[in-house]
Amino acid sequence: MAEDILIVASKVKDYIKSKDCQTAGEVIEALSKKVACLLDKAIARTKDNGRVTVKPYDL
């Protein structure tokens, strides 16, 4: 089963296009996986510190 996409694909594509580049088809899924990994680490840090609220410095 494919994981949920955690980013707004159209916004990412627009951003890349604004830098005069094109977006490969696999970029959105790969970026979403990176975001999920970053969030998982932030969540672990939050829990390790006895909190339930993820804060910017957890990233």
| The predicted structure's pLDDT at residue 3 | 75
Per residue in 34-53, pLDDT (tens digit) is 999 999 999 999 999 999 99
Identify whether the C-beta of residue 31 lies closer than 8 Å to the C-beta of residue 15.
no
Domains of the chain, by residue range, sit at 25-59
DSSP for 25-45, please give it.
TTHHHHHHHHHHHHHHHHHHH
Region 14-43: what's the mean pLDDT?
98
Angstrom distances, CA of residue 15 to CA of 7, 21, 32: 13, 9, 15
Cα(28)–Cα(7) distance, integer angstroms: 8
Distance, CA of 42 to CA of 24 (rounded, Å): 28
Q: What is the chain's mean pLDDT, rounded?
A: 95
> What is the DSSP secondary structure assignment for residue 58, as one 8-state letter?
G
pLDDT level of residue 1 (50, 70, 90 thresholds): very low
- Whole-model pTM? 0.87
